[in-house]
C-alpha cells in the first residue's frame, strides 16, 4: 500500500532546517505533497511578506527530490486539505504538539485513520533569524 503524506510551510529563505524537515517527512510516506503558504496567507497569518515570492519558493521546493507535488496553502485548515487530497500521514513540527488545534486534529484525523507525525525542531537556523540579519545588513548599507 502506497502512503501519501502532507506537510506545509512558508519555506521562505530556504535553509537546512527546511531541507531536513522535507527529508524527514518523506521517510513517513511514499509520496509527499507540500502545501506552500501563499504570500497572501503568510501576510495575513504571520504578518510578514515573504522575502522570496510564492512562485520562486514553489520552484525551489518542487526541485527537492523528496517532494512529489507542491500545492498552494491558502488556509491554515489542514482538514480542508485532507478533504481534497485524502493523505494518509500529515507531518508537522513538534512545537504544535499538545496545542488545542492539533489536539482537535488528532481527534478528527484519528477517526479517518490519518497518522500525525510530529517532527522535532532541529537546527539553529530559521527564516526569522535570516530575515533579521538581512534587515540589519540592508540598514547598514
CA distance linking residue 61 with residue 84, whole number of Å? 21
36-86 pLDDT, tens digit per residue, is: 999 999 999 888 889 999 999 999 999 999 999 999 999 999 999 999 999
Fold of 4-140: Rossmann fold (3.40.50)
In Å, what is the CA distance from 96 to each residue of 28, 41, 88, 139?
18, 19, 19, 34
pLDDT for 45 equals: 87
Mean residue pLDDT across the chain: 90
- Residues with a catalytic annotation lie at 46, 48
Question: Does residue 124 contact residue 63 with C-beta atoms inside 8 Å?
Answer: no
pLDDT for 134 equals: 58
Amino acid at each position: 500500500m502506497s502512503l501519501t503524506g502532507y506537510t506545509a510551510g512558508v519555506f521562505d529563505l530556504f535553509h537546512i532546517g527546511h531541507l531536513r524537515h522535507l527529508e524527514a517527512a518523506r521517510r513517513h510516506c511514499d509520496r509527499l505533497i507540500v502545501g506552500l503558504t501563499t504570500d497572501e496567507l503568510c501576510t495575513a497569518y504571520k504578518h510578514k511578506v515573504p522575502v522570496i515570492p510564492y512562485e520562486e519558493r514553489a520552484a525551489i521546493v518542487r526541485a527537492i527530490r523528496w517532494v512529489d507535488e507542491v500545492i498552494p496553502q491558502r488556509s491554515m485548515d489542514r482538514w480542508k486539505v485532507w478533504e481534497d487530497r485524502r493523505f494518509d500521514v500529515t507531518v508537522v513540527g513538534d512545537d504544535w504538539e499538545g496545542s488545542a488545534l492539533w489536539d482537535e486534529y488528532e481527534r478528527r484525523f484519528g477517526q479517518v485513520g490519518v497518522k500525525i507525525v510530529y517532527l522535532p525542531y532541529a537546527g539553529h537556523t530559521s527564516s526569522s533569524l535570516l530575515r533579521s540579519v538581512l534587515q540589519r545588513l540592508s540598514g547598514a548599507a
